[in-house]
């Protein structure tokens, strides 16, 4: 059992990010049993959930002629355009049915602003709009977090780097995360995480 000041953050283990989903991550379903078992080691468990309105600006379908996985400039910076995924209330946005959700003290829903994507569990992609997770963790005296989930090179990495920037001690369980790996994005994400002081194990 980890000390009470150490929380587990499970990132976006949702149907659309698992095999058969609209933005499937290879092997995304394989990490669920390990994450379920890991929950027993933490007094505080947080789940995050991508929760986009239909027609979200990060969807390629919202930009005529744009292809999924292309990159455009948005007012807040560069944005990868994704296939429609995790639309609010859809089966794809639901947690994997075999993921334990009862231990969660908090579910953070992100990406709800139609004009702004949100990879990190802590901030939207403008890097300044908070989700409220930092305040929740501080109120519980949390000083360390372990992250696992989907996808290593996007939502897990952004969350981990933000957590470190906020002064938390951060571990990413690479064995309980899976990556999209667009054009070497996994290697780049691991380098960025380690440079930020994140322990990737």
Q: Which residues are catalytic?
A: 12, 110, 155
Structure-token pair, residue 184: 């070497």
- Nearest-angstrom CA–CA distance, 13 and 40: 17
- Nearest-angstrom CA–CA distance, 92 and 193: 28
- The HSE-up count of residue 162 (CA atoms within 13 Å, CB side) is 25
Do you find a cis peptide bond into 151, omega within 30 degrees of 0?
A: yes
Q: Which residues contact 17 (CB under 8 A, 6 or more apart)?
A: 23, 24, 25, 28, 50, 85, 86, 150, 151
């Amino acid at each position: 059992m980890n000390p009470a000041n150490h929380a587990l953050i499970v990132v976006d283990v949702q149907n659309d990010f698992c095999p058969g989903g609209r933005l499937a991550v290879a092997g995304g379903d394989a990490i669920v049993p390990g994450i379920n078992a890991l929950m027993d080691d933490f007094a505080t468990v947080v789940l995050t959930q991508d929760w986009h309105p239909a027609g979200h600006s990060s969807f390629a379908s919202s930009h005529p002629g744009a292809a999924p996985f292309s990159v455009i400039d948005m007012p807040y910076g560069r944005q990868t355009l994704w296939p429609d995924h995790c639309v609010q209330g859809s089966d794809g946005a639901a947690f994997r049915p075999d993921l334990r959700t009862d231990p969660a003290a908090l579910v953070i829903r992100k990406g709800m602003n139609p004009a702004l994507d949100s990879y990190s569990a802590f901030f939207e992609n403008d890097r300044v709009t908070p989700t409220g997770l930092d305040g929740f963790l501080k109120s519980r005296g949390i000083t360390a977090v372990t992250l696992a989930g989907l996808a290593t090179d996007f939502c897990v990495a952004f969350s981990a780097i933000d957590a470190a920037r906020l002064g938390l001690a951060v571990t990413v369980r690479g064995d309980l995360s899976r990556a999209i790996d667009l054009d070497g994005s996994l290697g780049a994400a691991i380098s960025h995480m380690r440079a930020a002081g994140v322990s990737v194990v």
